[in-house]
Amino acid sequence: MAEKVDLKTVEPSAGVLPREDVLERRAKRRAEAAQNPPTVVVENLHVHYKIYGAGGATKGSATGALNRMFHRRTHNALSDVHAIKGISFVARRGESIGLIGSNGSGKSTLLRAIAGLLPAEKVGGVYTDGQPSLLGVNAALMNDLTGERNVVLGCLAMGLHPTEIKEKYQGVIDFSGIDDNGANASRRPMKTYSAGQAARLRFSIAATKLHDVLLIDEALATGDSGFQRRSEDRIRELRSNAGTVFVVSHSINSVRDICDRAIWLEAGLIRMDGDVDEVTEAYEEWSRLR
Amino acid sequence: MSGTQTVAVGQADGADSLPVADPEFTELGGTGMAAKYGLAVAGARPNPWAYAKRLWVARHFIVTWATARNQAMYSGSRLGQIWQVLTPILNVAVYYLIFGVLLGTSRGVPDFIVYLVTGVFIFNFMQTAMLYGSRAISDNLNLIRALYFPRASLPIAITIIQLQQLLIAMVILFAVALGRGEPVTWHWLMIAVALALQFVFNTGMALFVARFGAILTDTSQLLPFILRTWMYGSGVFYSIKIMVAKHPNTPGFLTWILDHNPPLVFIQLIRNQLITPPKTSDPTTAADYANAMFLPPHAWLWAVACALVFGLGGYLYFWQGEETYGRG
């Protein structure tokens, strides 16, 4: 779970290499990955959300509620959002897959379904190798606590053991850079942090653990440009150690930098699946015409 | 050859998703591939025993989260953590003013202050655990949708928060008991046993209302009224026996229910350890003491049974819904 990362095996940023080399390396990686065992198999997946008090003004009102009570139309009390409408794909060890699509197309929902946070209902399903982990530690942190205590809390929430946390604690603080220049921000409550500082600490905590299947939701592009580069390098490092990486991002460039393959989702369905350049180009073309 | 070719839907707004380009998937299907490579269903609910083991693994997270939550609760106010002590004191002060002074329910009850403080604190432990427990899922939906951990962690952590607050309140209770001249005896150790049993009972109740509240979100609106009714029926500020004696027509089964009411049994068990019998030979005082301290036969056994049945029942009920909590 926590083997040392050998920095030499981590490839340099994509921008450093000439274009042909990037393409050649990617083609080689994809050909290798195609022979690897699968880590995530998604078969005819449907995900429904329930939302209370949504839609129509009458739903939340007292008369509307009374009306429902007397007419026993209980299913109307909540609106059902069919977020994923039956998709299938296979992801194998060594693949890095970008999920792209317009707002509300179901990207984040798909990640949550793979992580087992929103299990499939009745038909279809998601089969995974081990417990995929969503890089979403943000929700466990508390603004009233100091940065130090949030590091411990966040790491515990990701399932790290207290002794492991002791080992890694200083690394997390150093990577986030919040204590640089003698600022000592880690001793202050997180609510006193600037947006950038908070985002940097959150990313550092989330990126502490190595995973077999790593799911990243809009965690890129946090902080200043220096930290952004460091965080992209860290994701590459995680990718080279993890079995499979999924990335949700609205930044097409970071998807191109990090991923070999892309899946384009639109209205809960897969619109296109394949090489990252072809899919992102088609998506950009489609976005321009819209 | 997973996705080495690029595939796209032919029609612009196709109602169907893309077929999978993976030849192995086409051949075996999703379930076939899962069986071949030993893949597990994502987010599948483990059996109750394995679930308990996962909770044990998550114990550091549960306790740290509970402690952090508890400390964050008063961090916005000027007096800060002092409210941990002030809240229970003010709570008791209000009930003492209304019931002890204005309504006079203290008549015939020996050492009414210790009697009342015990009742208020012990009932409050169950009341708050259930109240916050019913919102455990809806209040923490962000956390549930972001991280995988056994969901029972949340109601359990909420009961631990209430236990931490109760322990502060117990220090106040002991101070009051000493101030009222009650002696320190070995009986005080039995209070820890009673609290441990009540903790198991309350955790079960919190787990029960947590799932119920996740299914029917109106639970947290209705529950305060149910709990208040329960409190008035649990002899928190008066003696049930003295009250029943005033109503000779009370049916037998109702008396039985009132006597065996789990929170009242926990309260009475603790009152019996704290309040010593008066040292007079006056028969009315002795009868009052016996009435006020009344415990049904085999009260300790009954307390253990309640803790086990409700603790385990709440656990199993909550566990059954494990997969559904993320959907909201």
Distance CA B256, CA B18 (A): 66
Q: Tell me whether residues B22 and A274 touch, CB distance under 8 A.
A: no
Banded pLDDT at A242 (limits 50, 70, 90): low
Helix (H, G, I), strand (E, B) or coil at A12: coil
Q: If we measure between CA atoms, which residue out of A85, A75, A73 comes closest to residue A50? A: A75
Looking at per-residue confidence, does B306 or A239 come out higher?
B306
Helix (H, G, I), strand (E, B) or coil at B233: coil
Lowest mean pLDDT among A176-190, A229-243, B106-120: A229-243
Residue to substitute from B33, B59, B61, interface A, most A β-carbons within 10 A: B61
Distance CA B232, CA B263 (A): 12
Shortest CA gap A100–chain B (Å) = 14
Q: In what order do the strands lie in the sheet with B40-41?
A: A78-92, A38-52, A125-128, B40-41
Q: Tell me whether residues A272 and B7 touch, CB distance under 8 A.
A: yes
pLDDT for position A82: 84
* Close Cβ partners of B99 (under 8 Å, ≥ 6 residues apart): B105, B106, B116, B237, B238
List the beta bridge partners of residue A41. A90, A127
Shortest CA gap A211–chain B (Å) = 13
pLDDT for position B1: 39
pLDDT for position A75: 47
Distance CA B287, CA A255 (A): 81
Minimum-distance CB partner of A271 among B8, B39, B148: B8
Looking at per-residue confidence, does A246 or B201 come out higher?
B201
pLDDT in tens, A35-90: 888 889 998 888 887 766 544 444 456 665 666 555 554 444 567 778 888 888 99
In chain A, residues with a C-beta closer than 8 Å to the C-beta of B41 are: 119, 125-127
Residue to substitute from A118, A137, A212, interface B, most B β-carbons within 10 A: A118
**CA diameter of chain A:** 70
Q: Tell me whether residues A134 and B328 touch, CB distance under 8 A.
A: no
How does B116-130 read in b/e, with b if 16+ C-beta sit within 10 Å? bbbbbbbbbbbbbbb
Shortest CA gap B258–chain A (Å) = 34
Burial of residue B225 (number of CB atoms within 10 Å: 0-12, 13-18, 19+):
exposed
β strands within chain A, DSSP E: 38-52, 78-92, 96-100, 125-128, 133-134, 213-217, 244-248, 261-266, 269-275
Shortest CA gap A56–chain B (Å) = 19
Distance CA A243, CA A176 (A): 25
Minimum-distance CB partner of B42 among A37, A126, A271: A126
Percent of chain A with pLDDT over 70: 78
User: Taking the CB of residue B64, how many other CB atoms lie within 10 A of it?
Assistant: 19
Full DSSP string of B3-46 = T-S-EE-SSTT-SSPPPP--HHHHHHHHHHHHHHHT-EETTPPP
* Distance, first Cα to last Cα, chain B: 38
Q: If we measure between CA atoms, which residue out of B183, B168, B167 comes closest to residue B275? A: B183
Looking at per-residue confidence, does A213 or B123 come out higher?
B123
In chain A, residues with a C-beta closer than 8 Å to the C-beta of B2 are: 33-34, 38, 90-92, 95
**Average of pLDDT values for A186-212?**
83
Asked if residues B265 and B306 have their Cβ atoms less than 8 Å apart, the reply is: yes
Distance CA B248, CA B255 (A): 11
How does A221-244 read in b/e, with b if 16+ C-beta sit within 10 Å? bbbeeebbebbbebbbbbbebbbb
Domains of chain A: 15-36+94-122+130-135+207-289 (3.40.50.300)
**Average of pLDDT values for A100-117?**
87
Asked if residues A276 and A262 have their Cβ atoms less than 8 Å apart, the reply is: yes
Distance CA B73, CA B77 (A): 9
In angstroms, the Cα distances linking A101 to A61, A270, A287, B38, B154 are 35, 9, 9, 31, 34
- For residue A3, pLDDT over 70 is answered with no
Shortest CA gap A282–chain B (Å) = 10
Owner of token pair 């002795």: B286
**C-alpha atoms less than 13 angstroms from C-alpha of B309 in its C-beta half-sphere:** 7
Q: For residue B20, what are its two tokens?
A: 């999978």
Helix (H, G, I), strand (E, B) or coil at A47: strand
Asked if residues A95 and B2 have their Cβ atoms less than 8 Å apart, the reply is: yes
- For residue A15, pLDDT over 60 is answered with no
> What values do phi and psi take at A90, rounded to 5?
-125, 135
What is the pLDDT tens value at each position of chain B, 328 positions in all?
344 445 555 444 445 666 777 788 888 888 888 888 888 888 788 899 999 999 999 999 999 999 999 888 877 777 778 888 888 899 899 988 988 888 888 887 888 899 999 999 999 999 999 999 999 999 998 888 888 889 999 999 999 999 999 999 999 999 999 998 888 888 899 999 999 999 999 999 999 999 999 988 888 899 999 999 999 989 888 888 888 888 888 888 898 999 999 999 999 999 999 988 887 778 888 888 888 888 888 999 999 999 999 999 999 999 999 988 887 6
pTM score: 0.83
- Pairs across A and B, CB distance < 8 A: 202
* Close Cβ partners of B126 (under 8 Å, ≥ 6 residues apart): B198, B201, B202, B205, B263
Q: Tell me whether residues B39 and A30 touch, CB distance under 8 A.
A: no
- Residue B123 host element (H or E): helix B112-133
In chain A, residues with a C-beta closer than 8 Å to the C-beta of B4 are: 30-31, 34
Q: If we measure between CA atoms, which residue out of B269, B128, B135, B132 comes closest to residue B196? A: B269
pLDDT for position A8: 40
> What values do phi and psi take at B199, rounded to 5?
-60, -45
Q: Tell me whether residues A41 and B34 touch, CB distance under 8 A.
A: yes
Q: Tell me whether residues A153 and B57 touch, CB distance under 8 A.
A: no
Q: For residue B228, what are its two tokens?
A: 């208040």
Helix (H, G, I), strand (E, B) or coil at A187: helix
Burial of residue A189 (number of CB atoms within 10 Å: 0-12, 13-18, 19+):
middle
Minimum-distance CB partner of B37 among A38, A158, A161: A38
Note the Cα B21 to chain centre separation in Å: 51
pLDDT for position B3: 42
In chain B, residues with a C-beta closer than 8 Å to the C-beta of A88 are: 17-20, 25, 30
In chain B, residues with a C-beta closer than 8 Å to the C-beta of A137 are: 146-147
pLDDT for position A14: 46
Q: Tell me whether residues B30 and A162 touch, CB distance under 8 A.
A: no
